[in-house]
Amino acid sequence: ELDEAKTQFLSITSHELRTPITPIKTQLQLLLRGFYGDLNERQIKSLRMIERNTDRLNRLLGDLLEISRIQSGRLKLNITKQNLKEVIEETVDFMRPSADEKKISIETRLDDVPDIEIDRDRIIQVLQNLISNAIKFTPSGGRVDISLKKYGDGAIISVKDTGVGMSREIREKVFEPFFQADDWKSRKIGGTGLGLTICKGIIEAHGGRIWCESEPGKGSVFHIILPPKPGREIKLSQDEEIRERIKTFFEERS
Ligand SMILES: Nc1ncnc2c1ncn2[C@@H]1O[C@H](COP(=O)(O)OP(=O)(O)OP(=O)(O)O)[C@@H](O)[C@H]1O
Ligand SMILES: [Mg+2]
C-alpha cells in the first residue's frame, strides 16, 4: 500500500513538474531567436545554459514518469512485428556520431532472425541506453561490439564493450534506480542512474530477460533475450536446451 502511494506520488509529481517546462522552452526559443530584440554574446551563452539544463530536467522527469509507469504495471506497449536486424542497424547509425566523437569503433554481427513482436520505440530506447553506456564507460580508442542471434524462436542481443568494467558488487546493483558506480568516473560523466532500471522494466514487460557480465578493467557485456512475442515462452531446440543446461551448471558453480 505504501509502495502504491509512493508510485502514485512519483507519477503525479513528475507529471505536474513537467507541465511548466513547455512554456519555459517556448519563451527560451523566442528569446534565442531574437523575437524580443537582439542579444549580446553573454546573454546568448546564458540562455543556452538555461536551455541545456531545462532539457536535462525534462529528461529526468520523463525517466521518473517512465519508472512510475513500470512500477505500477502501467507501461503500455505498442506491439508490432519487427525485423530486429533493421531496428539495431537504425539505432547504431543514430549512435555512431557520439562513438566517432570519442574515437570508439562500433562493430556489428547481426544474424538474420525471424521477425518478432515488440514495441519498436521502446526497444530502441533500451538499445540506445546500452550503447550510450558502452560508449560512456569505454576510454577513447576502445570498441563496442553488437551482436544479434537466434535464441530458440526468440532472439538474443548482446552489447559488449572494452571499457572500465564492473566489480561484482557494482554488477549486482546496476539495475536499481539511481544507482551509479561510486567513483569519480560516473559522476564526472553525468547521467542519473535510471537508464538500466528503465531498460529492465521494458524488457520484462516484453517477457524477456536482461543481465550483464563484467569484470573490472575487462569491459562489460549486456545481454537481452526477447521472446517471439510478449508473454510467450521461448521454445528452444534440443541443442540449445542442452547448451543452456551446461551453461547453468557452470554458472551455479562459479
Ligand atoms: N557498459 C558499462 N560499463 C561499466 N559500467 C557501466 C556500464 N553500464 C552501466 N554501468 C554502471 O551502471 C550505472 C547505471 O547505469 P544506468 O544506465 O542505469 O545509469 P547512467 O548511465 O549512469 O545514467 P542514465 O542512463 O540515467 O543517464 C552506471 O552509472 C555505471 O556505474
Ligand atoms: Mg545510462
Per-residue pLDDT reduced to its tens digit, 6-35:
778 888 888 888 899 999 999 999 999 999
- The pLDDT score that the predictor gives to residue 249 is 81
Q: What is the pLDDT of residue 6?
A: 78
User: Tens of pLDDT along 228-241?
Assistant: 999 888 888 888 88
Model pLDDT for residues 32-63, shown as the tens digit of each residue: 999 999 999 999 999 999 999 999 999 989 99
d(CA 136, CA 163): 9
Domain containing 149: what range? Answer: 79-253
The DSSP secondary structure of 147-172, one letter per residue, reads EEEEETTEEEEEEEE-S----HHHHT
- H/E segment holding residue 46: helix 41-71
- Name beta bridge partners: 81: 117
Tens digits of per-residue pLDDT, 117-158?
A: 999 999 999 999 999 999 999 999 999 999 999 999 999 999
For the beta carbon of residue 22, count every other beta carbon within 10 angstroms. Answer: 10
Cβ of 181 closer than 6 Å to ligand 1, yes or no, is yes
Q: What is the pLDDT of residue 254?
A: 63
User: C-alpha dihedral over 195, 196, 202, 204, to 10 degrees?
Assistant: -170
Ligand (nearest to CA of 62): 1
Probe target for ligand 1 pocket from 192, 196, 199, with the most ligand atoms within 8 Å of CB = 196
In a 10 Å sphere around its CB, with 0-12 CB exposed, 13-18 middle and 19+ buried, how is residue 78 labelled? exposed
Q: Which of 43, 71, 99 corresponds to the end of one domain? A: 71
Q: Are residues 165 and 233 in the same domain?
A: yes
Atom of ligand 1 nearest to the CA of 134: 1
pLDDT per residue as tens digits for the range 77-131: 999 999 999 999 999 999 999 999 999 999 999 999 999 999 999 999 999 999 9
Residue 148 shares a structural domain with residue 36? no
> 65 is written with which cell numbers?
514518469
**What is the secondary structure of 185-216 as a DSSP string?**
HHHHH---S-HHHHHHHHHHHTT-EEEEEE-T
What pLDDT is recorded for position 10?
81
What percentage of the chain exceeds 90 in pLDDT?
A: 69
Going by C-alpha positions, the residue among 189, 184, 186, 135 that lies closest to residue 162 is 135
Report how many domains make up the chain: 2
Do 180 and 141 have their domain in common?
yes
Are 65 and 158 within one domain?
Answer: no
Task: State whether 85 and 31 are in the same domain.
Answer: no
**140 and 91 share one domain:** yes
Atom of ligand 1 nearest to the CA of 183: 31
Q: How far is the CA of 180 from the centre of ligand 1 (A)?
A: 6
Whether ligand 1 lies within 6 angstroms of the CB of 62 is answered as: no
Q: Is 65 helix (H, G, I), strand (E, B) or coil?
A: helix
175 and 200 co-located in one domain:
yes
The CATH number for 239's domain is 3.30.565.10
| Mean per-residue pLDDT over the chain, rounded | 91
